Structure 1
Amino acid sequence: MFKNPNQAPKNYTPGEALQKIAAFCAYQERTHREVADKLKSYGLDEDEAGEIIIRLGREKLLDEERYAQAYARGKHRTNGWGRRRIKLEMKAKGLSDYCIKSGLKELEGEEYYAKLKQLLEQRNAREKESHPLKRKMKLMAYLNQKGYESDLIQDALGELLSPED
């Protein structure tokens, strides 16, 4: 059912808001900012919202470190984003440096480089540019836009474009 945009939002009591926001947090990981914005839309003031956020944290329904880890894993696996892009997006969501570092630790290891190589191979197969230098530049630009580090891009390109012995 669609909401009427002219209808004023319903104001909830703190008890009602707690129940609704607990379900909101249980559905998927959330940031403190998302929860605070949602509570504000419920008509709660900052003090009431702050108390609810603290309670959700104590009850382990709201955990930004866990959110950052899930966000980094998900964006890397499904969108193919690199560490640089994920870090920028997490900063934009207002996550602390500690949480960002914790999330980026999820991307250490062989899986990260394997995803980079997979994206490179897929893009290389679709690339229409035939001039070798222009082709390489286009592939680099694509992976740079995805947020991968330049040194890793260079390594992967070296492996892909080196003549077979």
Structure 2
Amino acid sequence: MSYTDDERIRAKRRALYILAQRDHSKKELYDKLIKNYPPDLCEMVVELMCEHDLINEEKYTQKLYKSYINKGWGKSKIRFELRRKGLPDSLISQQEEEYDAEDFIDEIIHLVDKKYANKLDFSDYKSVQRVTAALARRGFAYDDIKLALSRVKDGDYDEEEYYDE
């Protein structure tokens, strides 16, 4: 279907306004545009924004992944959130490869020291379960949580590394 110049210009301006606020994935931009414009016009505008490098999903994935790690999120929660934003699995996997399990274990230890230290009593099974459940809700893998908690229990980590931040 063909659209008037005015309709195309309005859709492009709206897209530029949305992208000026913050970065978006193709899906996010499309979802916002579809509220006011026909689907094929939205697709055309999204592709135009990509051609002009105003949408760069690779950089956006990288930025979000790093941001979510800084928020103390685990791998599965990060993956879920990036998928929800419509980012391709290939880009998500590419980011996951840059971080190994040890990075997430270090983050768990940091969180336990910072946030759960006063709630964690290794002699109380329920206490350990509560902290484990809280970390699992943040998206950390159970095996990583177990390993990190055993390191905390044994004192097998460098405390200086976690308090320099």
Equivalenced residue count is 151
CA deviation after TM superposition for structure 1 residue 48, in Å: 1.3
Q: TM-score, normalised by structure 2?
A: 0.78
Kept in 1: contact 2:19–2:54 (CA 8 A): yes
CA deviation after TM superposition for structure 1 residue 128, in Å: 6.6
CA distance in 2, matches of 1:74, 1:23: 23
Structure 1 stretches of 4+ with a deviation exceeding 6 A read none
CA distance in 1, matches of 2:155, 2:124: 13
Kept in 2: contact 1:69–1:104 (CA 8 A): no
Which residue in 2 is equivalent to 1:151?
A: 143
Gaps of 5+ in 2: 1-5, 157-165
Matched residue type, 1:142: A
Structure 2 residue 96 is the aligned partner of structure 1 residue 104? yes
Kept in 2: contact 1:69–1:102 (CA 8 A): no
CA deviation after TM superposition for structure 1 residue 163, in Å: 6.5
Matched residue type, 2:112: L
Structure 2 residue 10 is the aligned partner of structure 1 residue 16? yes
Which residue in 1 is equivalent to 2:159?
A: none
CA distance in 2, matches of 1:88, 1:15: 35
Which residue in 2 is equivalent to 1:49?
A: 42
Residue of structure 1 aligned with 2:26, choices 26, 32, 56: 32
CA distance in 1, matches of 2:10, 2:67: 31
Residue of structure 2 aligned with 1:134, choices 113, 126, 129: 126
Note the alpha carbon deviations across 1:11-52, whole angstroms, 9 max, x for none.
Answer: x7211221231232243221212211221223x212211111
